[in-house]
Amino acid sequence: MKRLVLKFGGSSVGTIDKIKKVANIVKKKVSEGNQIIVVVSAMEGVTNDLKKKSDLISKDFDNKELDVLLSSGEQVSCSLLSGALLNLGIKARSWLGWQVPIITNTNHTSSQIMKIKTEEILDFISNKGVAVIAGFQGISKEIRITTLGRGGSDLSAVAIAKFFKTDSCEIYTDVEGVLTTDPAINKNAKKIDKISYEEMLEMSSLGAKVMQPNAVQASMIDNIPIHVKSTFSEKSGTKIISESDIDHKNAVTGVAYAKNNAKVSIVGVVDKPGVAADVFEPLGKNNINIDMVIQNTSLDGKKANITFTIKREDLDKTLDLIEKDKEKLNYNKITHDDKLAKVSIIGAGMISNPGVTYKMFRSLADEKINILAISTSEIKISVLIKEDLTQKAVKTLHKTFGLN
């Protein structure tokens, strides 16, 4: 007998038929003698629809009320799934975040889970009941509903796996696991059997959508093994586990990309200590995430150019903020390009494989793809390129590093 967390994403519970399908997967796990806790996301599209409604009232819609609004999505899916299980003759019950309770801090719309009470649910699952917990939501000490932000249901599943000391945390989704790259732009994408937390963290941060980075990070911190599987096939999926449990055959595990990048260059700022801080402080205060940064000194050593990348959606705000500070920053001009993409290769194996960097750049050069910026870590190399070359770049890198 094992204790399992099964998490079903929005695409897995997107229709009533899919909810029935999920109920049957759960039934099978029950019949195998397991103790089951299910975590569900809102039905596909629901959270976005609710968000749109709040936007129609105000773009500055109150965060606390937004959490009340958005949490209704998981309330619907978890009651429907509980009802479907009961209909199959399985003892089941829904728990909303406040009922468990899943206690979070008061950081509305992106709360952190502090504690999960386990007694009531442990009692229920010990007596052959399936606990169906609404993902994405919790309750603050002020007895207000909170939500965990993007990827929140994955975070719920990982935290539940931790507090309930489960043997496994299975993340069900609409793909068969973590793939070497996006099959939508490269049909040679292949499923990865095992991937380390660190690699998965880079993959998801750099564009792979199967699991949100903060959920991967949470599983890494508490060493919770994750098993990503398809709701709609019996295939074995991908295990996200410790680096030490993986035998890397390839230098590169996957190729990720993110479109909708923009690059801003501030040309001719005075090259003195603190200038970078002066540029980035107002951006940080306005929640604009800076990704890559390049600082070039001019030949005479007195003026510098600062180039950085951001999400395209933040471009207008960024340009406004920098123009407002023109006097203080004392630069010559700003240039920008908003049709860029970041393509990355990820692999823990590259630590012990020198030459990966060279091979990547050569492979792109052979395809006449110009590199506009580079950023690296121990287990990934990202390059900024023109957006319309994304597919070409992904395909050539996927082939170069033996992933086809």
Q: By the criterion CB under 8 A, which residues form the site for a second copy?
A: 16, 19-20, 50, 53-54, 56-58, 60-62, 64-66, 68-69, 71-72, 75-76, 78-80, 82-84, 86-87, 93-94, 96, 98-99, 143, 145
**286 contact partners, CB below 8 Å, separation of at least 6:** 317, 321
52 touches 9 (CB < 8 A): no
Q: What distance lies between CA 233 and its chain's CA centroid?
A: 23
Angstrom distance (rounded) from CA 219 to CA 90: 30
Could you give phi then psi for residue 365, rounded to 5 degrees?
-65, -40
Could you give phi then psi for residue 336, rounded to 5 degrees?
-150, 160
72 touches 43 (CB < 8 A): no
> Least separation, in Å, of the C-beta of 50 and a second copy?
7
Cβ-based nearer residue to a second copy, 58 or 287:
58
Cβ-based nearer residue to a second copy, 65 or 325:
65
> Least separation, in Å, of the C-beta of 60 and a second copy?
7
**On the CB side of 79, how many CA atoms lie within 13 Å of its CA?**
6
> Least separation, in Å, of the C-beta of 229 and a second copy?
23
Cβ-based nearer residue to a second copy, 118 or 375:
118
> Least separation, in Å, of the C-beta of 80 and a second copy?
6
Cβ-based nearer residue to a second copy, 75 or 105:
75
> Least separation, in Å, of the C-beta of 39 and a second copy?
16
> Least separation, in Å, of the C-beta of 299 and a second copy?
54
Cβ-based nearer residue to a second copy, 17 or 327:
17
Classify residue 196 as left (phi > 0), alpha (psi -120 to 50) or beta. beta
Cβ-based nearer residue to a second copy, 120 or 338:
120
- Give the DSSP letter string of 309-365: EEEGGGHHHHHHHHHHTHHHHT-SEEEEEEEEEEEEEE-GGGGG-TTHHHHHHHHHH
